[in-house]
Amino acid sequence: MSEKIEPTYYIQHHLQNLTWGQVPAGTERCDGQVLESSQWILAACSQELEAMGFWSFHVDSLLWAGLLGGVFILVFWLMARKAHSGTPSGMLNFVETLVEFVDTQVKDTFHGRSSLVAPLALTIFVWVFLMNLVKLIPVDFVPYVVMETTPLEYFKIVPTVDANITLSMSFSVLALMIAFTIKAKGVGGFISELTLQPFSADNIFFKIILIPVNLVLELAAMLAKPVSLGLRLFGNMFAGEFVFILAAALLVGWQAVVSVPWAIFHILVISLQAFIFMMLTVVYLSLATEEH
Amino acid sequence: MTMNATLFGQAIWFAIFVWFCWKFVWPPIITALEERKQKIAEGLSSADRAERDLELAQEKASKNLREAKEKAAEIIEQAKKRSDAIVEEARDKARTEGDRLVARAHDEIEQEMNRAREELRQEVSKLALKGASMVLEREVDEKAHEQMLKQLATEL
């Protein structure tokens, strides 16, 4: 790290996840060696990254997402085992406050009877918050430590700066929305919701004509929800991360002047985005169960 | 931004964490919260009940006190009346007793006086008789003049 680094390279490098994937035979590796058969490797430079197809994994995102989710589950599970109806204290108090907060929000928004929605909302809220929170660790800190101590070339610690992570969560929510719709209205209800509205006619002939129009509109609306849900979180986090990276790359010696106020401001963004993700999930699930 | 199979990896994490939270984290906490809510509600209602009970008890106590005071006043009144009556009675008794004693004393004095008078009269009549006999020497016949002397004695 002692040699002078080009800002462009630095930025690109910081935006690259540690990727584990399969490269086909004939790929030229970073050291110029050409592979004779396809292999699963951890990419160490851009040409290896480009050779990887869809079946590759962002190891760092998944590792940190799992780690932070694990922290959430572990802490809350330990507290749940200690939960009692007496006077709570310390961490239990904090956990109960969060649970009650989420429970109130869910009860205000979701009027169905599902017991899944509230724990789902809690998981999303705390997990997304924790995944956002690691962004407050200075951008270079963990990558520097990792690259100095291991042969790894890339390392990003904020899972929500990876669109794969946020979209994966939002599409999981879409799957739940579909499941909730089918559970509440049946398969027929689900299909009629996709095909018989928003345009409807009394005449059966016109009704049939309107089906493709409705289908296109409803499918677009249905897909827009998870896409916007996932991209909103990703966009906010990515933009924030980008400012940190720019500050680190361009304002050598003056990083703190930009980074510290930005980080303080980001405490707000982090909690707000986690809350928005949770609330929209609950609202979408509520829409999925209710008649409209 | 490259889309890849990380999508599935994260979906698996998501499913695991949500499921675990749903099954093992949420129920005990929410049960504890509900229980506490119920306990607090019970506590509040029992506090209300206790307050009502206290009010009732206070009312009863003050009523009892009032009754007791009234009864005491009544008893004191009766006792006073009774004592007045006793005093009155005693006074009457004393008065009649006194009167009686005075009357008896009067009688006794009267009798004493009469007796003294009688004695005196007899003494005087004896003295008169002695004087007369001394004056008349032997000539006076005791038998002949007894009637006259007796009359004299009565007149004294």
ipTM of this predicted complex? 0.89
Interval B35-62 mean pLDDT: 95
Judge contact between A37 and B20, C-beta under 8 A.
no
Cβ pair B29:A79 closer than 8 A: yes
| Contact: B26, A66; criterion CB under 8 Å | no
- B40 reaches A (C-beta below 8 A): no
Any chain A CB within 8 A of the CB of B36? yes
Q: Do B4 and A85 touch (CB under 8 A)?
A: no
Report the distance separating Cα B53 and Cα B66, nearest Å: 20
Mark yes or no for CB contact B29/A163 under 8 Å: no
Contact criterion met (CB < 8 Å) for B13 and A83: no
Per-residue exposure over A211-226, b if at least 16 CB sit within 10 Å of its own CB, e if not: eeebeeebeeebeebb
A93 is catalytic: no
CB A35 within 8 A of CB A64: no
Provide the residue ranges of all domains of chain A, joining segments of one domain with +: 59-146+158-289
pLDDT by residue for chain A (292 residues), tens only, comes to 444 567 788 888 888 888 888 888 887 888 878 888 888 888 888 788 888 888 889 988 899 999 999 999 999 999 988 888 888 888 888 999 999 999 999 999 998 888 899 999 999 999 999 999 998 888 888 888 888 888 887 888 889 998 999 999 999 999 999 999 998 888 988 888 888 877 777 788 888 888 888 899 999 999 999 999 999 999 999 999 888 888 888 777 787 888 888 889 999 999 999 999 999 999 999 988 887 5
Place of tokens 């009774």: B82
**Mutation for A interface: B17, B38, B42, most A CBs within 10 A:** B17
CB pairs under 8 A between A and B: 126
Does the reported pTM lie above 0.90? no
CA distance B47 to chain A (A): 18
Is the separation of the CB atoms in A42 and A59 below 8 Å?
Answer: yes
| pLDDT at residue B136 greater than cutoff 80 | no
How are the residues of chain B apportioned to helix, strand and coil, as percentages rounded to the nearest 5? Answer: 95, 0, 5
| Other beta carbons within 10 Å of A264 | 10
User: According to the model, what pLDDT value does residue B59 have?
Assistant: 96
